[in-house]
A = this chain, B = another copy of it.
């Protein structure tokens, strides 16, 4: 009956758990912006102290960037199975700030007319709310049973939202300490509000910033317009060339390593009752913009993309300035699947840029990250155990699904530590992560913690 008691503890401790999450959400740990470096450190310190308070031997580990937090809890005994939980304590820049209904780092509960409630803040879901579901499950096990069902190492990074530059080196340098039977990651979504899911397929990512340089200084568009090369024009031609009229990416070799989705998998997906119109409609859209010959579900779960995440050049303030800019730049990210090679794709992109570069122009690059796609068998023992636990909590079967997003650490766990990842998360598609008014359902937070409490128990038992 221990699990039952743990679940009761989680229920009675709900208000305090929420306040603990709010404390974390109030720290503006924006990893990509150097101005917030001290705040990232503060978030790491906070998490290490919280883990220590529930029996983890937790420490801060310095890196060239933001620190890692590593905590071990061996209360299950030396012979128990060992799992690594991964999460990240950093968040994306919250701009545009004027689109937030309330300040991004002042978390609050917003209650809907139907009585359901959500937690509103930057990081409410991604990943602070999600990672705290696991921490709260551990807390309840420790306070109730005095020990966890399995040996757990909690590993938190602070650079997930800025390309994880320190992660590969840290994994390589601490492989023996971090290697476990499998990794547990809470950074994904449910199938819908009532149905949890286990993600067994993730897209990888190759991200790159490209700056085209022309004149040695900003020029007056009247005095120089005509003879002087305009880098916005050059950049636009490059950006425009990367997709054909059918939505396919034109880079040579881009689709090498992309595998066709099997009919079997397509049939499983069809059974999920995904509604493309509803999905797109939630974003104010109606017509799929990806590869014309692929379904929306394939475009999201099984096909790569090339997206422009930002573009800038010249005068972008209010009003008008007749400047002919010296440079223009864009941030590009390609989501990758199957065996696509991020390094080959980066090289192809750079070659394409250089082939299109006219006289008097030069290019510079900033490399923001490289990770391949990932796939896990639905027959993996951890997947099967988690499926049972989730069904016990939610009363429905948890499907194994794909996800359009990228969690580079999953590929690195596989490549550097030989470790598979069990991806269970409680986000919803309308959580607006990376956007103003990010939220996390209060029920996701509370039932997510209950779900992890059950999964921890299930992981200590034979697979169903």
B32, A307: Cβ atoms closer than 8 Å: no
Alpha-carbon gap, A396 to B311, bound state (A): 49
Question: Is the CB of A382 closer than 8 A to any CB of chain B?
Answer: no
Chain B CB within 10 A, most for which of A214, A314, A429 = A314
Alpha-carbon gap, A240 to B232, bound state (A): 9
- Please give, as numbers and ranges, the residues of chain B lying within 8 Å of A218 by CB-CB distance: 96, 434-436
Interface residues of A in 180-208 (CB under 8 A from B): 189, 203, 205, 207
**Stretch in A220-228, A259-267, A345-353, A442-450 with 4+ CB within 8 Å of B:** A220-228
Question: Is the CB of A5 closer than 8 A to any CB of chain B?
Answer: no
A-B contacts besides A214-B285, A223-B429, A322-B333, 20 pairs, CB < 8 Å: A32-B321, A205-B322, A215-B284, A215-B285, A217-B432, A217-B436, A221-B305, A221-B333, A222-B335, A225-B305, A227-B276, A227-B299, A228-B280, A309-B314, A309-B320, A309-B324, A311-B328, A314-B331, A320-B333, A321-B331
Question: Is the CB of A360 closer than 8 A to any CB of chain B?
Answer: yes
Question: Is the CB of A358 closer than 8 A to any CB of chain B?
Answer: yes
A217, B434: Cβ atoms closer than 8 Å: no
B434, A323: Cβ atoms closer than 8 Å: yes
A308, B222: Cβ atoms closer than 8 Å: no
A310, B316: Cβ atoms closer than 8 Å: yes
Interface residues of A in 268-291 (CB under 8 A from B): 276, 279-280, 283-291
- Please give, as numbers and ranges, the residues of chain B lying within 8 Å of A322 by CB-CB distance: 92, 205, 207, 309, 333, 406, 434
A220 with B434, Cβ < 8 A, contacts A233-B239, A314-B308, A335-B225 known: yes
Hey, which bits of chain A sit against chain B, CB under 8 A?
Answer: 31-34, 92-93, 95-96, 99, 161-163, 189, 203, 205, 207, 209, 214-230, 232-233, 235-237, 239-241, 243, 276, 279-280, 283-291, 296, 299-300, 303, 305, 307-325, 328, 330-331, 333, 335, 358-360, 368-369, 403-406, 429, 432-436
State which of B209, B236, B436 has its C-beta within 8 Å of the C-beta of A320: B209
Alpha-carbon gap, A226 to B296, bound state (A): 8
Chain B CB within 10 A, most for which of A32, A303, A307 = A307
Alpha-carbon gap, A311 to B320, bound state (A): 12
State which of B243, B287, B319, B360 has its C-beta within 8 Å of the C-beta of A162: B319
A315 with B285, Cβ < 8 A, contacts A218-B435, A222-B404, A432-B217 known: no
